[in-house]
C-alpha cells in the first residue's frame, strides 16, 4: 500500500506541476482559451487558499505557507500510520489525494515567487535574470481550470439574490484543488467504511 500511496502522490504532483509550469511559461495573467463552451483554460493566480480564496496580506501569506508545511508533515505522518496499521485502502487513497493536493499548492507558495517573474502583460520566464516576483514562501498559487456550466438570472422572488446574475461554477481552480476535493468527498461519502467510533477500521 505504501507504493500505491507514493504512486498516487507522484501522479497528482506531476500532472499538477506540469500543467502549472506550462501555463506560467506560455500564458499571460488573465489570458484564456476555450476548449468547450463549458470548459475554459483561464490563467489566474491567488495568494491564498483553494479555489481562489484569499488570506490577507504578506504576513497572512507567510502564515498560510508555514501552516501548509506543518499540515503536510502531519498528513504524511498520518498516512504512514494508516499504512502501518493496515487501514482500509480507500482511506489511505483519500488521505494520499489530500496530501498530494496540499503539497502541489505548497510548491507554488514556497517556490514560484523565486522561480518565475510575474505574468502581468507578459509570459513569465523560469529563473529570470532579474530575479523572481517575490520571495521564498510568498509565491502565488497558479489556477487555470474554469467550468462555467450554468449561467442565468435569479428570479426576482428569490431571497437575497433576486434579479442578480448567477454562474455555476464560478471559482477557477487547479489539479491540486481537485485532488483535495476528491479526497475529502471520499472521506465524507464512505466514512462508515473507513471509521468506527472515530478510529480507522483495519483490514
Quick one: what percent of the chain has pLDDT higher than 70? 94
The CA distance from 42 to 146, in Å, is 6
24-59: pLDDT as tens digits: 999 999 999 999 999 999 999 987 655 555 555 567
CA 199 to chain centre: 27
Catalytically active residues, by annotation: 143, 177
Q: Give the position of cell 475529502.
A: 184
Domain spans in the chain, listed from the N-terminal domain onward: 2-25+41-152+171-196
Q: What is the pLDDT of residue 55?
A: 56
The CA distance from 200 to 73, in Å, is 19
Q: What is the pLDDT of residue 98?
A: 97
> Does residue 201 sit in helix, strand or coil?
coil
Q: What is the pLDDT of residue 56?
A: 56
> Does residue 107 sit in helix, strand or coil?
helix
CA-nearest of 28, 55, 51 to 143 is 51
Residues facing residue 44 across a β-bridge? 143
Q: What is the pLDDT of residue 40?
A: 97
Q: What is the dihedral of CA 95, 101, 102, 103, to 10 degrees?
A: 110
Q: What is the pLDDT of residue 45?
A: 95
The CA distance from 187 to 53, in Å, is 23
**pLDDT averaged per 10 residues in sequence order, the chain, 203 residues:** 94 98 98 96 83 59 85 96 95 98 95 97 96 93 95 85 84 96 97 88 81
Residue 73, C-alpha cell as written in the block: 508533515
Q: What is the dihedral of CA 144, 75, 12, 14, to 10 degrees?
A: 90
Amino acid at each position: 500500500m505504501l507504493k500505491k500511496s507514493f504512486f498516487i502522490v507522484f501522479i497528482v504532483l506531476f500532472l499538477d506541476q506540469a500543467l502549472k509550469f506550462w501555463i506560467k511559461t506560455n500564458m499571460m495573467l488573465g489570458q484564456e482559451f476555450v476548449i468547450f463552451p463549458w470548459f475554459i483554460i483561464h490563467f489566474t493566480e491567488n495568494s491564498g487558499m483553494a479555489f481562489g480564496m484569499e488570506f490577507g496580506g504578506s504576513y497572512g501569506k507567510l502564515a498560510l505557507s508555514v501552516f501548509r508545511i506543518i499540515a503536510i508533515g502531519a498528513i504524511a505522518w498520518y498516512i504512514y500510520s494508516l499504512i502501518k496499521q493496515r487501514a482500509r485502502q480507500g482511506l489511505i487513497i483519500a488521505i494520499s489525494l489530500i496530501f498530494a493536493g496540499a503539497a502541489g499548492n505548497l510548491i507554488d507558495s514556497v517556490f514560484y515567487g523565486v522561480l518565475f517573474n510575474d505574468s502581468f502583460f507578459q509570459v513569465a520566464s523560469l529563473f529570470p535574470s532579474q530575479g523572481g516576483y517575490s520571495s521564498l514562501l510568498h509565491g502565488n498559487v497558479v489556477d487555470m481550470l474554469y467550468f462555467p456550466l450554468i449561467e442565468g438570472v435569479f428570479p426576482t422572488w428569490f431571497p437575497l439574490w433576486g434579479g442578480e446574475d448567477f454562474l455555476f461554477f464560478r471559482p477557477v481552480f487547479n489539479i491540486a484543488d481537485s485532488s483535495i476535493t476528491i479526497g475529502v468527498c471520499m472521506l465524507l461519502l464512505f466514512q462508515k467504511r473507513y471509521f468506527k467510533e472515530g478510529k480507522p477500521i483495519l483490514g
